[in-house]
Amino acid sequence: MRALQFQRNLPRYAAAKVAGGVVPGFGARVGPLRLADVDEPALPGPGWQRIRPRLAGICGSDLSTIDGKSSRYFEPIVSFPFVPGHEIVADADAGRVVVEPVLGCLARGIEPLCSFCAAGLTGNCQNLALGQLEPGLQTGYCCDTGGGWSTAMVAHESQLHAVPDAMSDEAAVMVEPAACAVHAARRPGLDQPATVVVLGAGTVGLCTIAAVRRHLRPGTLIASAKHPEQRTLARELGADTVVEPGEVRRAVRRMSRSPMVGAGVGDGAEVVFDCVGSAASIDDALAIVRPRGQIVLVGMPGRVSVDLTGLWHKEISLVGAYAYGREAASPAAGGRAGERTFDLAFDLVADADLGRLVSAAYALDRYRDAIDHAANAGPRGAVKVVFDLRGEKNR
């Protein structure tokens, strides 16, 4: 089968880190990612089946890996060589499916389930390096499963969600990022805040805006977006006010009509969703969240240097939002406890027409162009770039 494979190759990884640091996406040209003909992965055990990706998205975490920027935190929960790609719509035995990529206890054949998997919080599974699979936090980071950037891979039945006939492949490939956004918006204790800020308007940011608007019902939703197309989409998806990143502190101050205290807003937003995950965005989040407010890191941060004095002084909660599972109740939006994140994500994609966020599709052999496009999506007026496997010969 044809696949883009990421190998453990330290010199190339170092080269990717240097190149990617200079030109985003350039790690694809010098790093450990290669297009190859490889054997299809074997079925790891009962409940597994072979699926054939139709579309597979390029995610920010993929780009971090390719450009050598991902955190060493992941080392014990990744196995090489792996085929990236965890935003997947594929053909399975029973029809089109979307893959829920977390490789939790069920997929690993571990009994009894860890307490998190038992509670439906598969994103928090504690056995990501155990069981019948090599380590891998998700499909796309595990050498045993393959990933979406290929013509074939394997998936456990617990990972598969049937795609309604009416839903296009483009919409379906957005279900996984939408699920991340829904999971962030459905954190317990965030119901109907007066003011919410979403920092960043890439795929995750835009999906979060849509999810917050529908699941949190905030009084005011302010979004920061760097590029004109992002600003237009942010408004369309539910932001009341959209500003450039450098303007967000003043925008929040004006909305709250509170004083500035140094570079920070005296009484800012109740919740800030940081969908960038950079030192600058976390800094902004700390400056604009109100005392005792909450910052939700939706974007993957990596190693950053941030002054946390404000967090301590303003008694701010800084929490992460990773993956999906089953969600808490959402009284404002009529959400019940225990709903599956992916089910909610399907609804969100359909309701907010998130399929429109897919801006470009590439064949595998144009992977360098695809990654270059994805790494520069904002400036090029794009949001989500995907691989289109539907026309691949070996499929």
Partner 1 sequence: MSRPGFVLEVDRSTPPILFHHGEGFRLEKLPPGSRVVYPAEPVAPLKDPDGAIRHALLNPVGDSQPLPSLLHAGMKLTIAMDNQAVPLPPMQKPDNRQRVIEIVLDMAAAAGVDDVELIVAHGLHRRQTEPELRHMLGDRIYDAFAPHGMLTQHDAEDHDNLVLVGRTEQGEHVELNKRAVTSDLLIYVNVNLVAMDGGHKSTMTGISSYRSLKHHHNVTGMQHSRSFMDPPNSELHNSTWRMGRLLAGAVKIFQIETTLNTDTFPSQFSFLQKREWEWSARDRASFLATSKSLEHVPPRIARSIFHGIKSPQRMTSVQAGEVEAVHALTLQNLHRQHLVPVEGQADVLTMGLPYLGPYNVNSILNPLLVMCLGLGYFFNLYRGKPLVRKGGVVIMSHPTRWEFHPVHHPSYIDFFEQVLAETTDPIEIEKKFEESFATDPWYIHLYRNSYAYHGVHAFYMWYWGAHALQHVGQVIIVGGEPRAVRRMGFKPASTLRDALEMAEDVVGRNPSITHIHNPPIFLADVT
**Minimum distance of partner 1 from residue 264's CB (angstroms):** 13
**Minimum distance of partner 1 from residue 280's CB (angstroms):** 18
Distance CA 137, CA 133 (A): 11
Among candidates 157, 182, 171, 191, which has minimal Cα distance to 51? 157
Output 76 or 381, the one with its CB closest to partner 1.
381
Output 249 or 384, the one with its CB closest to partner 1.
249
**Minimum distance of partner 1 from residue 258's CB (angstroms):** 7
Output 250 or 303, the one with its CB closest to partner 1.
250
**Minimum distance of partner 1 from residue 206's CB (angstroms):** 19
The runs of H, that is alpha helices, within 60-202 are 60-66, 105-108, 115-118, 169-172, 175-185
Distance CA 194, CA 199 (A): 17
CB 86 within 8 A of CB 103: no
CB 324 within 8 A of CB 313: no
Output 157 or 240, the one with its CB closest to partner 1.
240
Backbone angles phi, psi at 111, to 5 degrees: -130, 135
Residues in region 201-230 near partner 1 by CB under 8 A: none
**Minimum distance of partner 1 from residue 260's CB (angstroms):** 7
CB 23 within 8 A of CB 352: no
Output 260 or 337, the one with its CB closest to partner 1.
260
Output 19 or 197, the one with its CB closest to partner 1.
197
User: Do the strands 2-6 and 33-37 form a parallel or antiparallel pair, or are they unpaired?
Assistant: antiparallel
Residues in region 235-274 near partner 1 by CB under 8 A: 241, 243-244, 247, 250-251, 253-254, 257-260
**Minimum distance of partner 1 from residue 41's CB (angstroms):** 50
SS (H, E, C) 333-348: HCECCCCEHHHHHHHH
Total residues at interface with partner 1 (CB under 8 A)? 12
Output the DSSP codes for 30-55: HSSEEEEE-PPPPP-STTEEEEEEEE
Residues in region 165-204 near partner 1 by CB under 8 A: none
Output 72 or 257, the one with its CB closest to partner 1.
257
**Minimum distance of partner 1 from residue 254's CB (angstroms):** 5
- In three-state secondary structure terms, 269 is strand
Answer yes or no whether residue 287 interacts with partner 1 by CB under 8 A: no
Tell me which DSSP letter residue 121 carries: -
**Minimum distance of partner 1 from residue 171's CB (angstroms):** 31
Tell me which DSSP letter residue 138 carries: B
Distance CA 183, CA 342 (A): 9
| Contact residues: partner 1, CB under 8 A | 241, 243-244, 247, 250-251, 253-254, 257-260
